[in-house]
Structures are given as structure tokens and as C-alpha cells.
Structure 1
């Protein structure tokens, strides 16, 4: 497992800054569509997916495959959008960069509040997407290993639930559900009790109306599940939308539960650049090498 990029003392100091910023600004939902950055992938990476598959009615995934290799790390990518929207087009640069580095990557469309669904439907969509993509990769005579779920912002929250609490869900998918092997979270709001006004879009209730439901949908309260699962958490030091304290909080819960966890606080990265290829691809690829 890769060494931590910061000492715990450094993390605590940055977390304190993030919490202070959160108090001053509040958690600002990333409700816009992530834009494709021209710097989001190396010049050698093609931003054109190998194929696009429909894994459920109206829901698709773009699959980016490396040019060589039989055993490939597979990274299924879940977009953010404040639980209101979930458009993965901004992941194209990172997906292409990962494929250029030898991994398979698949940004996925999932349903969100604007589609009239609430929890657990978005997590069910993530798990059905994972199962369909694994089936597609295997049909191409490749071995997806490990199977990783990566999420950004509210998508990181959903990814954490899909990986840690996978056994709590029973989605109706076209292919058997696959238990993911690892989790990557990019700047996620992992404690929904701290953002109840925003997370109500996901739950369709308030914490007082359904405390058990909110607890089950809260990754910091599910961190004790599947302690064998490795986790990579990335957060931009200049993120002014989701305070870095969310990542520090989840890291502490995961570490206490025994998860092999790596934290990277990325200098100069913001909430809207942390998911681009030039910012995160090398960090993700190096971590994947450490867990394969």
C-alpha cells in the first residue's frame, strides 16, 4: 500500500482549515455538469471510448480499454451532481488517461433526484453498471482485476456505499451483482448528517423522519463493513465546495475499522479539477499498481 502523502498532524491541520471553510461557506453542492477539460488527459490518450453499452433502460456506460494486456484493473466511474444530477461526460479525460496507463475505465450514467428516484435506486444503478461492465470486459477475453468503483463528490458518497455496503443491496440487474474489490473517492461528502438539506434530495426524507434510512445511507457509519477493502481518498487542497474535513473524517473511520487506506491531499486542486486526468490519473494508476 502506498505511503500516506501527509502526516496525520498535517491532515488534522488541513482538516481544521476545511471545517472552518465549511462553517463559513457551507457545503456547496456541485450541481452543474462537469466540463471536459482540454488538459484532462495526456496528449497520447484518446478521449473516444472503445464502446458504449446500455446496462439498463436509458442508462449507458462508456468503456475505455487499454491497448494491451489481458488482466486489467477496471475502474467504474460515478459522477457527482449534488444527488440531483449525474452526468459523467466530464470523466472522459480521466478515463482516457487511465486507459492510456493500462487500466480499463468506464464512466457511467445513473439516475438521480431529477429523474424522480431516491435512495437506494442510485446505488442499485451503480451496482448494475458494475456487473454489466465486468460482463462486457470478460466477453472481450480480458480479466477485470481488481474491480474498483471511483466516484466524485456526491458520486463518491454513492461509490462508498456501493463498495462498503454492497451486501445490503438487492438490485435487479441483467447480470449477477459483482462485489467490488476497492474504492476510490474524490472529494466526497461522506457524512450526510452534516448536509441534511442537500442529502434530502437523495433520501426523499429528513433525518428526523427516517433516522434508520439516513444511517444506512451514511458511509461514515458503514466504514466497519468489508475491512479488507483498500480505499484511496483524494481531495484538492483548494476545494471550496466540499471541505477536506469530510475526507479526513471518513479516513479516520476506515482506519479504525482496519481498511488499508491511502489519503492524498492534492496541492492546487479544486473541486472541479480533482477528477481530471492531469490531476488524478497518475495518483490513481500508482495506487492501482500498489493493490494489484
Structure 2
């Protein structure tokens, strides 16, 4: 990565932070689109060089639903033994984004944990539950093929941010999901019924309505089924949830409700509320260390 790319990346992060500090007349989901544009134009999609001793596998095709290839990038730390892996799911209102940008947990490899950043069909291509199906398929692919990449398929965690955090939380709680040992969800939507009603607008569909394929009031059953809070059980894996205290796009209450359900089900869980942060922020070194420790203790 060149110095000019690093400069662009930093400019993109500053622009994104400034976007969420300002009071703006545009809607929350519109801000999300501007935010993702700032990240992409700022260089967060750029691939950096591998860390010392790290092996990188790019564009591994794990499924082709309807002839639509889905790929993943896998970052494997140097090790003489198979290593645990965290499957990363990108955010972007379920309608934009890619496996290569804003991989918030990319540096987990420095802690001996591999990262597999996956693609899924966006809402403009397929409606829910296609996105969850794709994540489940990626998980099964890692379980089947992980050893050939130096991964331990018995030690898989999942993580994601925003829309990806929603899918990670769902993947960890839905009945019938292949075994996941731990989930780290960053500022996730967890109750699509309440959030869908918050963003309902007669002038046009919200991003949640685009995901579900119709007006929220016509899709309440599907919205409930797509809500992680409704799938928590005593068999759910341990959770670490991270949410900005000033998040106006996905209210902090979404993570608090998930935490309440996990506590009621006696599932080991922790909610970290980050002071002063809105939606979509990079984890600092201390926060990343907490995530790494969480996964090390459960994987």
C-alpha cells in the first residue's frame, strides 16, 4: 500500500467521522450510503500487504447461487498447527459493500487467528433469507475445506459490522446453523420489526424493506424471523457486542435488547458501549485486543 493510498484512507475515515458528527437533514439510511461511499473512495477497499509470515488466499469461490459466484478472502497467520478462524461479514445496509473493504478485524491474524472475509448476495440481487443462506454456505465451506488452508474447522467464530453484524448474530442464533463457537457483533440491527417501523417511509422503501421485499407492515412475520433477538436460546454461542453510544443509524437499544435476551437465556455475553462513537467506526488497538481475547478464550 502506497503512502498516497494511506493518505486517502485517512481522509476517508475523517470524512466518515465528520458525516456522523454533523446534524443533517438527510435520513439515516441515506447517511449510510454516503458513509460507505466515503469509505470506498477513501481507500478502505485497498488490500494491504500480508503481515510477516501470513498466507493470503483471495477470491476463493464457495458458492454460485443462481450462477452468481460468491467469494471469500482468507488471511492465515504463520503457524505450524491449524489455527482458529473468524468469518467476517461486511456491512452496508445489505445492499452495498464487498469482502475487501473495512475488514475491521483484519489484524486478528497478529493474535494467531485467521480471518475469512466473505461475500453474500446483496438485496438488489436477492431478498432475505438469501443473505443468511449464503453465510451458512460459507460456514459449511470453511468446515469442509478449512484444513487445506491451515484452518481448524472445529474452531470457527463469526463477526460482522452493521448489516454484517446482523447476519453474524443471526448465524449464531438460528436453529440448525452449523456449530459456531463465538460471535462478535459490531453495532448490529437485532430487531428488524422495530427498526423497520422506525425507517418506514411512504415516499419509498427503506433498506430493511428492500431486504425483505416489501413494506414492513406486510412483512412482519419475515422481519421477526430475520431478527436475532427472536432466536436466542440457551444453546446460543457466547457473544461479544460492541456499539457506539452515539449511534443514530442503529440505536444502541438494538444491542441492549440482544444482550438482555442472551442474559435471560444464560448465554455468556458482554456488551461494550463505546463513548462518543456513532455508527461504523474502526476498532482501536485496545478494542481489537479485547476482541482477540474473546475469540482466543472461546475458540
Q: Please give the range of the TM-score, normalised by the shorter of the 2 chains.
A: 0.7 to 0.9
Corresponding residue for residue 59 of structure 2:
52
SS, match of residue 232 in structure 1: strand
- State which of 283, 288, 293 in structure 2 corresponds to 1:281: 288
Match of 1:290 among 274, 288, 297: 297
Contact 1:83 1:113 in 2 (8 A): yes
Q: Partners in 2 of 1:89 and 1:102 — Cα distance?
A: 20
Give 1:63's aligned residue: 74
**What is the CA–CA distance in structure 2 between the aligned matches of 1:283 and 1:185, rounded to whole Å?**
13
- Cα distance in structure 1, aligned partners of 2:103 and 2:214: 33
Secondary structure (helix, strand or coil) at the match of 2:170 reads helix
| 1:65-104 map, 5 Å | 65-92=76-103, 94-95=105-106, 97-104=107-114
> Which protein shows a greater Rg?
2
Q: Decide whether aligned partners of structure 1 residues 111 and 273 sit closer, same or farther in structure 2, where only a CA change above 3 A counts.
A: same
In structure 1, distance between residues paired with 2:49 and 2:259 = 30
What's the TM-score once normalised by structure 2's chain length? 0.74
Other structure's SS at 1:90 match: coil
Cα displacement (A) at 1:71: 4.2
Partner in structure 1 of residue 261 of structure 2: 253
Q: Distance in 1 between matches of 2:101 and 2:286?
A: 13
- Give the aligned length: 256
Structure 2 CA distance for partners of 1:189 and 1:141, relative to 1, 3 Å: closer
* Residues 244 and 252, structure 2, Cα contact 8 Å, conserved in 1: yes
The aligned residue for residue 174 of structure 2 is: 165
SS of 1:183's equivalent? strand
Deviation at 1:185, TM superposition (A): 0.5
User: So what's the TM-score if we normalise by structure 1?
Assistant: 0.76
Alpha-carbon separation, structure 2, partners of 1:182 and 1:270:
25
Unaligned runs of 5+ residues in structure 1 are 1-23, 170-177
Q: Structure 1 residue 127 and structure 2 residue 156: aligned?
A: no
Stretches of structure 2 that go unaligned for 5 or more consecutive residues are 1-24, 197-205
CA-based RMSD of the aligned residues comes to: 3.1
